[in-house]
Amino acid sequence: MSSPISRLSGLLGHFSSAKSKEPTPAQYDHNVNFHTLSPTFFLPRAAAIEPEHSNVEAIIVDKEFEPLLRSFRASKPDVAIIIDTDTDATAGELSGPFDNAVLEGLRYDAETGGAGWDGLESQAAAEDDIIALAYTSGTTARPKGVEYTHRGCYLAAMGNVIESGLNSHQGRCRYLWTLPMFHAMGWTFPWAVTAVRGTHYCLRKIDYPEIWRLLKHEHVTHFNAAPTVNTLLCNSPEAERLPDPVHVTVAASPPTPYLFEQMTNLNLHPVHVYGMTETYGPITKGYFMPLWDTLPLKEKYQKMARQGHGFVTSLPARVIKTEVPEGTIEDVSRNGQEIGEIVFVGNICARGYYKDPEASRKLFAGGVLHSGDLAVWHRDGAIQILDRAKDIIISGGENISSVALESMLVTHPDILEAGVVAVPDSHWGERPKAYVTVKHGQHLEGKDVIDWARNTSDISKFMVPREVEVVAELPKTSTGKVRKNVLRDWAKGANRT
C-alpha cells in the first residue's frame, strides 16, 4: 500500500504541466484560490484576461472551451490545464485527465479508511482570507475579480438556505441548475444545496422542454433563474401547472408583476431576491406578507415584484441621495417617490476588487457598497428598483424608468419580452425606443404597439415610446439579462450579427 504522501503527490501530479516534474505536497503549501471564467458574449476576451489577472496556477476546463485557452497556453506553458473530456457522458467508466484525478482522490480516500474530508486541513489562515475570485461579466468594461472570503461565502450560503427555503420541504431539496455556476459562484448555491444534503440536477444549457421534463418527472423542488428565463419557460409549449409547488428564486434583473402572476398560475412560486456579484449574489428578499392575499391581484403582484428587505445574514439595504458630494451618505425619504441609489453594508459584501484599489475605493465610497441601481424606498422599508443609473431616460425634464416601461409593455397580450433604451430627440432631449419580441404564433408591428400604448394601456403619455421595433430575439448575457448596451448600439445603426 502506498503512503498518504505518495498518494497526495500522485493526485497533485494530475495538476502539473506536461513539462514539469511531479510536484510534492510541500510545493503546494500556500493559499490556493479558485474562480470560474465568465462565459459571456465576450468569452474569448474573458479567457484572455482572467487567467492572467488572477495569477492562475491550474485550470480545469471543459473540452468545448479548451480552444479558448490556446493563446494563454502558448504564453504560459507551465500552467497546468486539465481537460474534462466526457462532460456529457451519463454512463460508463470514468476516463480522461480530470476523471483520473478524481479516481486518484477516491483511491486515497479508500486507503485512509474512507474518512472523506476528515483529516484535510483548510488552506485559510483566517476567515477573511480569499476563497474565490468571482469575475464580473465584462460586457461594458474590463472584467473585475471580486474577492470572496471564506466567511462571506459561508454566511451567504446559509442565508440562501434560509431565504430560498432549501430546507423547508419534506425529504431532500432537489435543485435544478438553470442558473450558471460561473455567475457569482452560482450565488453560493453549490455550497447551500450541499449543506442541506440536496440533489444537484445539472443542465448543459438552457433547454425549456428538458427543464419541464425534469420539473414533472424528477420532482424538482427549487431552481434559480432570471426573469427572461422564467418568461420563456412560462410561455413554452410544454408549460402546464405542476401538481406540487416549486420554489423559484428570481433575480438578475427586475421582474414584472405579470411574470409573477404567470409563474404562480403554473405552481412556480417566486422567491424574489436582489443582489450583485459584489454581494455574493442575493442580499435582499421580497418577503411575502399574508395580507397581500386580500389585495386585488394587480396590487398583490406589484408588491411581490419589489426588491424587498435585507437578508437575515446581512444588514438592511438602504437607498441614499445621489445629488450630494461623493462619500456623503444620506438616506432618501421612505415615501416611494424620492429616487436614490441602493447601497449595502454587512456580512455579505465582498472584500473588494482583486488588484484594483481604485475601483475598490469607488465601490465602497463613504463606507457603503454602491450598487449603481436607482430605486425608491417604501414606507414599509421595502426597496424597489427603478433602473440602472445609466438606463434612466430623461425626456423633457421627466425621468422615465426603462424597467417600469418594459413592465407595462409586456402586459400587451401579444408581447413576450421588451427592452427599452433612450434615443436622442431634438425637442425632448431623449425619448424611449422599445425592442419587443412576440409570442409564438402572433404577429405584431411597431405602430400597433404605439397605438395600444397611447390609447389602451395604462402607460403615461410622456412614457409612450417614440419607436417600437419587433425583433426575433433580444440580446442577452449568459445569465439572462437584456444587454442594453447592445440595444443602444442597434438604435445607432450598428450591425446586428
115-155 pLDDT tens trace: 766 666 667 788 999 898 888 876 556 788 999 999 999 99
For residue 16, the model assigns a pLDDT of 44
For residue 90, the model assigns a pLDDT of 64
365-376 pLDDT tens trace: 999 999 999 999
Query: Which three-class secondary structure string do you get for 261-305?
Result: HHHHHCCEEEEEEEEEHHHCEEEEECCCCHHHHHCCHHHHHHHHC
428-440 pLDDT tens trace: 889 999 999 999 9
Residue 19 has pLDDT above 50, yes or no: no
Domain boundaries, the chain: 4-123, 133-388, 393-491
**Gap between the Cα atoms of 123 and 109, Å rounded:** 19
Q: Which residue has the higher pLDDT, 93 or 31?
A: 93
Report the CATH number of the 393-491 domain: 3.30.300.30
- Mean pLDDT for 339-357 is 94
Find the range with the poorest average confidence among 35-44, 56-65, 114-123: 35-44
Q: How confident is the model at residue 101 (pLDDT cuts 50, 70, 90)?
A: confident
Alpha helix ranges (H) inside 112-256: 150-163, 189-195, 208-217, 227-234
Determine what percent of the chain is predicted with pLDDT higher than 90. 53
Query: Mapping DSSP to helix (H, G, I), strand (E, B) and coil, where does residue 403 land?
Result: helix
As given in the structure block, the three cell numbers for residue 130 are 480569499
Find the range with the poorest average confidence among 38-42, 290-294, 350-354, 379-383: 38-42
For residue 117, the model assigns a pLDDT of 64
**Gap between the Cα atoms of 215 and 242, Å rounded:** 8
Report the CATH number of the 133-388 domain: 3.40.50.12780
Determine what percent of the chain is predicted with pLDDT higher than 70. 86
- Buried/exposed code over 79-99 (b: 16+ C-beta within 10 A; e: otherwise): bbbbbbeeeeeeeeeeebebb
- Mean pLDDT for 202-211 is 91
Q: Is 288 exposed, middle or buried (0-12, 13-18, 19+ CB in 10 A)?
A: middle
Q: Mean of the per-residue pLDDT values for the chain? A: 85
Q: Which residue has the higher pLDDT, 266 or 426?
A: 266
